[in-house]
């Protein structure tokens, strides 16, 4: 067995141990029938969210040929927050009564997909459009959405702002089974769709010119992969909320540990690391911080520090 396979097996064992600890810690004969059915959906949501973010971030870094970018640069996180803020701003404290969890989930995904579709139609009407122009437009829209959200948040009642604040950070506490089922189906469908393209991503990592010279239809593959990325990020964000630096952290750690260009190994390693980070983080949130610190704050803190480290290392290189 190669060293990469051994490392992936070790990561899989660590993830399995983390899941078992998360599901069984503090359980006894008096509370297992109450606690276990509530922990299993949270664990499933954690694994799904981590897998979707890791999968989409790795593909995004490959097609942009940049290791310090994440799909959040397209402005989807900011758009999600704008949708949530707008609903509270318009409907007030009755938001949770008027719009159910499923309706909110589907509405958020629909808005993000429509925004991405319009963006693609406008930017990719011409062939050979530079993808970095898309990233620049995404940054502009992200700043625009954040500004509108901040303006509305300053106008709403403080009690209503608490509703928006709860949706600013990833939350695994109240995961609804019906939303989880829809998310699993969407993610599985996208994973099956992208499986034949994984070998092509190995070639795309060489850069646009080399990929075209080796027979890859670059523009076609990039457009399809961008659509997959948008849907995955939309589902993960609408399910639990935004986690900005998770993908950056786990994907780069997978590259450092595995030392390979093969996306089959990188995808598996990134997903395993993402699951370990989120399960371990949720354990700390529940057992150490007593729910006072959201898991996204911890992930973004570590990821932000690692992002600065990557920038400094790239500058030295």
**Predicted pLDDT of residue 134:** 75
Task: Tell me how far apart the alpha carbons of residues 304 and 120 are, in angstroms, rounded to a whole number.
Answer: 29
**Predicted pLDDT of residue 198:** 92
Q: Packing angle between helix 101-123 and helix 177-194, nearest 10 degrees? A: 30
CB-based contact 109:235 (threshold 8 Å): yes
- The tokens describing 266, both together, are 């990188």
CA atoms within 13 A on the CB side of 175: 28
CATH number of 37-170+177-316: 1.10.3470.10
Task: Tell me how far apart the alpha carbons of residues 163 and 155 are, in angstroms, rounded to a whole number.
Answer: 14
Length of the chain as a residue count: 317
Domain edges within the chain: 37-170+177-316
**Predicted pLDDT of residue 266:** 93
3-state helix, strand, coil in the chain (%, to 5): 80, 0, 20
**Predicted pLDDT of residue 317:** 59
**Predicted pLDDT of residue 296:** 78
The pLDDT profile of the chain, 317 residues, written as one tens digit per residue, is 678 888 999 999 999 999 999 888 888 778 888 888 888 888 898 899 999 999 999 999 998 888 888 888 888 888 888 888 888 888 776 665 556 667 878 888 888 888 888 877 776 665 555 667 777 888 888 899 989 989 988 888 887 787 777 777 777 776 777 788 888 999 999 999 999 999 999 999 888 888 889 888 888 888 889 889 988 988 888 888 788 788 888 999 999 898 888 999 999 999 999 999 989 888 888 888 777 777 777 887 888 888 888 777 766 65
**Predicted pLDDT of residue 128:** 56
Task: Tell me how far apart the alpha carbons of residues 99 and 97 are, in angstroms, rounded to a whole number.
Answer: 6
CB-based contact 180:41 (threshold 8 Å): yes
- The tokens describing 210, both together, are 């080399």
**Predicted pLDDT of residue 96:** 57
**Predicted pLDDT of residue 14:** 94
Interacting residues of 17 by C-beta distance below 8 A, sequence separation 6+: none
- The tokens describing 156, both together, are 């709403």
């Amino acid at each position: 067995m190669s060293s990469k396979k051994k490392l992936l097996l070790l990561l899989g064992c660590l993830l399995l141990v983390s899941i078992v600890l998360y599901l069984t810690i503090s359980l006894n004969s008096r509370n297992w029938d109450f606690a276990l059915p509530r922990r299993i959906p949270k664990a499933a949501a954690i694994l799904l969210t981590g897998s979707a973010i890791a999968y989409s971030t790795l593909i995004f870094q490959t097609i942009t040929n940049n290791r310090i970018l994440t799909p959040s640069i397209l402005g989807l996180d900011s758009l999600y927050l704008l949708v949530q803020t707008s609903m509270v701003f318009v409907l007030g404290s009755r938001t949770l009564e008027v719009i159910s969890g499923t309706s909110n989930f589907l509405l958020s995904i629909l808005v993000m997909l429509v925004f991405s579709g319009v963006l693609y139609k406008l930017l990719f009407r011409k062939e050979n459009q530079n993808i970095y122009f898309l990233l620049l437009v995404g940054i502009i829209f992200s700043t625009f959405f954040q500004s509108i959200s901040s303006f509305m948040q300053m106008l709403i009642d403080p009690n209503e702002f608490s509703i928006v604040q709860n949706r600013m950070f990833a939350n695994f506490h109240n995961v609804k089974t019906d939303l989880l089922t829809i998310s699993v189906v969407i993610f599985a469908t996208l994973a099956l769709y992208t499986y034949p393209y994984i070998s092509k991503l190995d070639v795309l990592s060489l850069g646009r010119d080399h990929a075209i010279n080796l027979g890859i239809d670059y523009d076609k593959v990039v457009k399809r992969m961008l659509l997959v990325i948008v849907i995955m990020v939309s589902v993960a964000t609408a399910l639990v909320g935004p986690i900005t630096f998770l993908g950056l952290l786990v994907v780069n750690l997978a590259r450092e540990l595995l030392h390979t260009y093969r996306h089959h190994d990188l995808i598996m390693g990134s997903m395993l690391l993402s699951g370990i980070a989120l399960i371990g983080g949720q354990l700390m949130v529940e057992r150490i911080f007593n729910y006072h610190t959201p898991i996204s704050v911890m992930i973004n803190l570590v990821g932000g520090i690692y992002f600065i480290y990557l920038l400094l290392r790239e500058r030295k290189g």
